[in-house]
Amino acid sequence: MIGSPSMPTMALIDERALGERSRFWRRISRWPGWPGVARALGFFAIAMIYVPMLWLAIMSFAESPLSGMPYPLTLGNYGALVEDERWIPPLQTSLVMSLLVALVCMVIATMVGRAITRMRRPGGVLLLTLLPLFVPGLTMGAALFIFLRTMLGLTMGLWSIFLAQLIWALPFALLLVLVIASRFDLRLLEAAEDLGAPPWRRFWDIEMPLLRPGVFGAGVFGFLLSFNELLRSLFLRGVETTMPIYNWAMAASQQSQVPIIFSLATIILVVTLPVMGLFFWFLFVKLDRS
């Protein structure tokens, strides 16, 4: 043991006193190659995310994308997509549905997130609100179908799809708001109250500007999760069709539609990825510097 009253005490370990197994693991932990392994794994993870998307975009121009060969290249798949208008109503339904889910997520997550951070013991409420994250989509979809259709006798439709997508997206939205709301200093509101500011002014002028990144992030996540949701919507769709359901049905039943789906997925990717990247850069980078 070494140290002094003015310096922290630290312990020196005699490696000769350690067992063979302990010395082995200490040598492994000191291996200088770990940073390189971490970088390699990071590049591998990034490649697994972006290379398939790049390959999808390339194959959308292939004359026979199911063959796995990108050549010869053609615009025929995009031409067939323009001529086939069956995908337009599902796309419109998904866009409207996702915007509604995003808006409701922003409102509910803000209200619930603010309330949870003011509780003395928020653990139980937090667990109940976040528990749907861990329920498999098929299980949640089947449970909602049995409850709504067979127990309550309701007819499935757009409203039930909206409910399923909201249940899926809301916990994620709530997490984003909680991250921001938990850092908010409530003494700012108490000071504003002492100066005579009414509750609405305290929320809108003081709390909302600080919560804005979390609230808008909740909306973006709500939109994306709703737009891509398939498992729960399959159970609760009735006769309605969203974009993921249309793509799944076409890919499962008609191989001739697969090239068109590749083209449609590429267009959605090209539109959404830069927009979302710019949005998150503005939300979390630029606002954080301001």
d(CA 240, CA 227): 15
* Structure token pair of residue 242: 């969203």
Contact present, 208 and 188 (Cβ < 8 Å): no
Q: What is the pLDDT of residues 161-192, one digit of tens each?
A: 999 999 999 999 999 899 888 888 888 888 88
* Structure token pair of residue 263: 């083209």
> Cα 161–105–223 angle (5° rounding)?
65
Instruction: Classify 73 as helix, strand or coil.
Output: strand
Is residue 217's pLDDT more than 60?
yes
Which DSSP state fits 134? G
| Contacts with 37 (C-beta within 8 Å, 6 or more apart), sequence order | none
Q: Range with the lowest mean pLDDT among 4-8, 22-26, 62-66, 221-225?
A: 4-8
This prediction has a pTM of 0.78
Segment 70-83 shows an average pLDDT of: 84
* Structure token pair of residue 27: 């040598």
* Structure token pair of residue 89: 């109503």
Rg (CA), the chain: 26
Whole-number pLDDT of residue 286: 59
Closest by CA to 145, choosing from 274, 79, 17, 237, is 237
Q: What is the pLDDT of residues 122-157, one digit of tens each?
A: 888 888 888 888 888 889 999 999 999 888 989 999
Contact present, 103 and 216 (Cβ < 8 Å): no
* Structure token pair of residue 239: 């006769």
3-state helix/strand/coil string of 25-59:
HHHHHCCCCHHHHHHHHHHHHHHHHHHHHHHHHHH
Q: What is the pLDDT of residues 106-124, one digit of tens each?
A: 999 999 998 998 888 888 8
Axis crossing angle, helix 123-130 with helix 158-181, rounded to the nearest 10: 140
Is residue 3's pLDDT more than 70?
no
